[in-house]
Each structure stands twice: as C-alpha cells, then as structure tokens.
Structure 1
C-alpha cells in the first residue's frame, strides 16, 4: 500500500470546504484570475495535510490571492489523476502534492515540473529541510518538491506480551532487543518459544519494507538501473524475513485489512515497525482498552530509516508558477509545518521545525506519556541519505514484493517466491 495512503489506514472522503473559496475533488485545472482581479491558485492534495486553517490564513495575509483546495480521499486516485493530466498536457493544479511512493514516477517526468530553485522565493533553499528529504526531490539539479511531512521509523511493542515471554519491557531493557535486525529476530525466537500462539510481528512485508528503506541501495541504483536480482543487501533482507516466517514469527496479516486491524485489539503480535504516522493507527485499532499496553522506543534495528511523507510541486501547466511557489514555500515553512503537525499529526521535515518546543514537548498518553515529538525528531536525524529510487520503485515495493512475501506466508517456497518477486520487478520496470 502506498506510504501516505497507509498513513491514516483508511481513505478519507472529501471534507467540508476549507473556506468559501475551497472546493473538493481533484478535477479541474490550474487557476487563473477571478472576476474581481484576484490571482486564483489551486492546490491538489490527498488524505490529511493539515491545511484546513492554513489556506484561509494565507488568503487573509494575501488579499490579492484566492486559494481553491482540491482534496482527494485516496492517494492512489490523486496520483492517477496527476499522471493522466500530465499525459494530457492540461488539467493540473497550480500546486500538486506528491507522496514519496510516487515521487520516482514524478521525477522521471521532471521536465513537466518547475525547478523551484528558479521560480521559488530566493531565500528558500534545499537546506531548509533535512538533507535526505531535499535530496529525494532533486533530479539532475532540478529541485521539484518542497518537503511536507516525513515518517521517521521507531518500533512499537506490547509491554505485557514482552513480560509474559520473560523479555525486558522497559525503554532501557528493549534497546538490546532492537539493536540490530539479527537481535530482533533472535528475540522473536525466544518470544515464540515462551508464548507459542502469539506472533512476533504483524506481517513479513511490513518488516521487509522498513529494512529495505534503510539500505543505501534498494530496488534501483543511482543510475536508475534495476538491481533487484543483484543487490546483496536486498537478498539478505529477504532471507532474514522469510527465515523468521518459517519459524512462525509472522502473524501473516495483510496490512490495513480487517484482520490486521483486529490483530491490534487481540494482541495477535508483539512488535510493529512504527513510522511516526503509525502511532495514530495503533491507537485507533488497538482501542482505549489497550491504552498503556503499547510502548514506542527510539531503538530501531540497525539505526534509523524513513517510511512516508510528501512534497508540494508546481507543474509547468500552472498559470501563476511564481505565486504558486510562494504559497508552497509558505505552507512548508517551519511555522506552518508545526501548525499542520498540531492539527493532523503530520511530522515536520523542516530542520528548524524539528527544534520547536511545540514538537519536542508533544507527548502521547496512549503510549505511556512518552515524548513522541522528541523521539521522532531524533529518529529523523538518523536517516543518513536519500535512497536512489527508480520509476517503478513504489510499484515494486507495494505490489510485487508485498505479494511475494504474502505468498511465502501462505506456503509458497522461499525460492519460488523470490523468483516471482524478481520477475515481477523486471516486468514492472519495463
């Protein structure tokens, strides 16, 4: 499932209008000039960006601008519309949000988007964001996306299940368990030996995706060459996860299915890879009856990683590219990123925003009053660099490898499933 689509677990329908000027849906085209002479800027997003109050605020500060918001419930639908309109040569909004899972496809069409270094405000440079975030949206010197949110990785776990298995459950004690992927899977063996019927993690795909996102090279190398069948790190991750499946560590639940949702309530698994946006999913699905049983730790196997986040782009179809870039820069400024975080939990990617007391003092009562803002701010800084992504990276991860790992969980041999994954990746990359 695409990253941001999975971030809220459910596809949200269009909400009420942001203001009298706002509209719902992603149809239409870039703005022009209104009857009363105002510059009209259209902004196309999906799911929740936290802009409901920000867009009217921008209009108030810029009386010559009218903002029309087009919000689609599903990330898939939004991006399908985006690529259709790129191909048609018309219909795009002045600002188009792009989720990181689709960013490689957008970068392959970078000539259809403005270089924000050329049209954006002079004081807005890539170093405004975490380096790896800006690097992700840069292609051949063209910086096409201002970063919105991110999904730094941490680990969530059930304290009561750890205690029942004789494992330490306090923040200091779990660090050794989550030090590396080898120690993680070794602890899973111990957990299974003590509990029997409980699984260590929810699904192979959810663990594998996090592991691959940590690698310097994933499905493609820096020259956009597909390396699925030659990347030793990818194969090593596959071998470790499938070995854990063979030992019964996986609950074999398809992420965001009804069974997966119920698994949180039923304590069907003890650990969960947790990008920042996952905390809300855990709380929603586990329910109030499990408050205090779940914990989150900044100890994550083999260091940090990221899973999720989006960007704001300005297509060349825009009739007011400079004004659109100014709005996009304002929406992604530190002050606005903090406001969006407060409103919808979208974790900031701005360097300055990551030092804000409003972020660092954020706690979660559900997770034992842990200072989750500070925790994820530190996790975000652990991401070393942007991983090279090719045009089909999102499809390969979400469709090809997820399906192959589910096949392993249902009894397909590891060798046959690997062959399925490699062939599927090669087909997707054509």
Structure 2
C-alpha cells in the first residue's frame, strides 16, 4: 500500500513506512540510519547514495522538472542551493511540517538563514559546513625565509593585501614554486566574503555594478601576472598531482579540505602541511549541505522528522566522527568529542577546536540567486583560467561579464 503523508499506512509487507533519502559523497549517516530504525520500529530507511555531487545534482534538477522521482529526503549541496530556493514551491516548509522542537537557534545564524528563500520559507535543515582556514607548507615557507609556525604565519594571512604581499616575497625567494594553486579558488573565497554576491536580492546581476567584485578580480589577476598562481584547475588530475609535486605553498582550506590534502599529498608529506586559525578577511565558508523534503514525498511529516533527527547536534557529531562533514549546529561546536579531535597528518593540530572557532567568524549569509553556482563554475572560473593561460586581465573580465550575463538571462 502507498501511504499518504501522516496517514500511518505502511508501504512494505512488514508494516513499516519506507522513507527514501538521497545523498552524495560521504555524509557519515550509515550507522545513524540503523540507529533511527531501532528507535523508530515503524520506519524503514532506503538510502540512495551517489559518489559525485555533479551528476547527483543534475539528476536532482531533472527529476524536479519532471515532477516525479525524488526521494522523501533529498540532500542539496550549498553550491546548488540557490537553484533549489528559486524553486522553493516544490519543497516543503520545514518550519511548518517539522518537529516543533526544532528551532532556528539549533544552527549558526548564517547557516540557518541560507536555507530560507526570499519569503522566509525554510527549505532545508543544515547539515555540515566548510569554515575556512589557511593551509600551508611549513618546509616551503622555511626555505623561502618566511615564518612557519601557526602563530608566526598569522600576520601573513591577516587580509588579502598581506596575503598577496607575502606571495610576492615567497615567489621571489622560493626558486619557482607558486604561492597558491588556482586563481579561481582564491577569487571564489574573496567573492563569498562580500555582502552582495553575483546577484542582489531582486535577482539582478551586479557583476559590473558592484565595484568590489572588480576590485577582487584586479587583485587576483595581478597576482597571477606576478606568477603567484600554479594555474591548476581545482580537482583535476594536474591539481591532484600538484600536492605531491609541491607545486604551490598555500591552500584555501575549508574543514573538509584537510582530508583531500592528506589523500593527494600522500604520506611523504605528513607533517609538512600545517593549518592555522587565520584567513584573509576574517573568515568564510566553502561547502556544506542541507536536507530538504520535496512536495513529491508521500510522507512529508515522517521525512521531516528524519531530517530533523539527522541534523540534531548529537547526530552531526556522530556523523563527523564517521567521516562526514563539520557540524553546523551551535551545541555541536561545543561538544567535547569535536573539540578533542586532532589531525596527526597536520602535526597533531586540534582541528576540531580550530574550525569551530573559524565557523563562528562567518558573518551574515550572502544571498545567492538562481544561477549563482553556474556563474562561478562556467563564467568566473573559466575566465580566470584564461588569464592564467595568458589572456589579458581586462579581456578575461569581459569574458566573465559576458558569460555571467548570458547565464542571468
């Protein structure tokens, strides 16, 4: 039998309601699903897990457009959240159908606010976040005559002016190693710190009218011309290899990036990478997801209850320990298990405590209108890559503006 939301009728022969949930990558939820089923014997969870986020979100929007095929609970990565919020009528308002015990103060303010549409509808419960710190190669800093201990490097990362000034010194004295991996990675971090992003709250493209965007562009591309960039496309094979070949000395580091560095740099570089609780401009966020309940769900209240439980602080700390992302819940950031976490690869740093502090430095949630993620992926990033390959910065800027204009319609 197919149950209607809240009807209590069963989907399966054993009398349980089946709740389907789709995620991508690693959320650390496998053991949590078993725990939820034990505590809720009337529920059976079916997990659809996809490895890569790109194909996952392509399928999500195809099913959303078709009006069928979506699971009861659907994870959405923050880079695609703007397009989900633009279609918020296709999703339940979790503030209405979710457990009354779930209140906004569960989350950091900026995380909660980013999950609401322009009318205040709560489309997603926040899962993890990617608070930003700066990672760097201690041995390369030492060879170039720069300070290398986490406290000593903080002045280098105080703001973007000091960061690029240190890059000039490093490039001069390092013998050819680049300061950072990719212009797009730096520009995206700077862009996300601005009060207004690529689109304002009326969904008007402001790339040309927002002078701060052009200032960031000029600063990054000037650093490219001074040979600070390795010119690597993030997550490409060449970028992966760049960690092993010591192609660059610094890396913008959301909490989840530490695992990427360890995997790509390999055991031969253990202890050479370090991370410090400083980031130019004060802080920022890159990454993190939300759990949504599409209106397609036959069990919206049960689905919302599952999503609420999974995003409770206790469960998010367990998910973090199970390989998932860094928690976005206020109580989780004070959890002893989180604060006691250390990272041997990065010299035994207390990374749980470090990123909890960085998460609290993030300001208000930047509004991201429809197409924001696409502008980043297919407008600004390719234009910056063109500059890294020899295109004049002003020509690259025009390429960026033209592409963004086409996307924004």
3-state SS in 2 of match to 1:199: coil
Task: Report the equivalent of 1:215.
Answer: 194
Unaligned runs of 5+ in 2: 1-8
Assess if the C-alpha contact under 8 Å between 2:115 and 2:123 holds in 1. Answer: yes
Contact 1:213/1:387 (8 A) holds in 2? yes
Aligned to 2:54: 76
Distance 1:88 1:32, change over 3 A: farther
1:51-71 CA-to-partner distances (Å, cap 9, x unmatched) read 111111111111111111011
Aligned to 1:224: 203
Contact 2:80 2:373 in 1 (8 A): yes
Measure, in 2, the Cα distance between the counterparts of 1:246 and 1:372.
Answer: 34
What is the deviation of 1:393? 0.5
Does residue 295 of the first structure (1) align with residue 295 of the second (2)?
A: no
Q: Is the 8 A contact 2:26 2:324 kept in 1?
A: no
The residue aligned with 2:378 is 399
Query: Does the 8 A contact of 2:151 with 2:276 survive in 1?
Result: no
Do the aligned partners of 2:375 and 2:404 also contact (CA within 8 Å) in 1?
yes
Match of 2:67 in 1: 89
Q: CA deviation at 1:108?
A: 0.4
CA distance, structure 1, for counterparts of residue 376 and residue 235 of structure 2: 16
Distance 1:52 1:416 in 2: 49
**Alpha-carbon shift at residue 400 of structure 1 (Å):** 1.1
Q: How does 1:227-238 map to 2 (within 5 A)?
A: 227-238=206-217
Q: What CA distance in whole angstroms lies between the structure 2 residues aligned with 1:126 and 1:98? A: 19
Cα distance change on mapping 1:398 and 1:36 into 2, 3 Å: same
Q: Which residue of 1 aligns with 2:133?
A: 154
Greater Cα offset, 152-161 or 212-221: 212-221
Q: Which runs of 4+ in 1 moved over 3 A?
A: none
Q: What does the per-residue CA deviation read over 1:77-134, in whole Å, with 9 as the maximum and x for residues that have no partner?
A: 2111211111111111100100001100000000010000100000101221111001
In 2: Cα distance, 1:41 partner to 1:32 partner = 11
Residue 342 of structure 2: aligned partner: 363
- Which of 98, 108, 123 aligns to 2:86? It is 108
Contact 2:82 2:371 in 1 (8 A): yes
Matches within 5 A, 1:312-323: 312-323=291-302
Residue 408 (structure 1) aligned to one of 375, 383, 387: 387
1:48 paired residue number: 26
- Tell me how large the CA RMSD over aligned residues is: 1.0
- TM-score, normalised with respect to structure 2: 0.96
Q: What TM-score, normalized by structure 1, do the two folds share?
A: 0.92
Go from structure 1 to structure 2 and tell me whether the alpha carbon gap of 1:345 and 1:69 turns closer, same or farther (over 3 Å shift): closer
Structure 1 residues not aligned, in runs of 5+: 1-30
Q: Does 1:179 align with 2:137?
A: no
Equivalent position of 1:133 in the other structure: 111
Match of 1:53, SS state, is helix
What is the match of residue 19 of structure 1?
none
State the Cα deviation string for residues 3-38 of structure 1 (Å, max 9, x = none).
xxxxxxxxxxxxxxxxxxxxxxxxxxxx96112321
Q: Number of paired residues?
A: 400
SS in 2 for 1:186: helix
3-state SS of the aligned residue for 2:21? strand
* CA shift for structure 1 position 196: 3.1
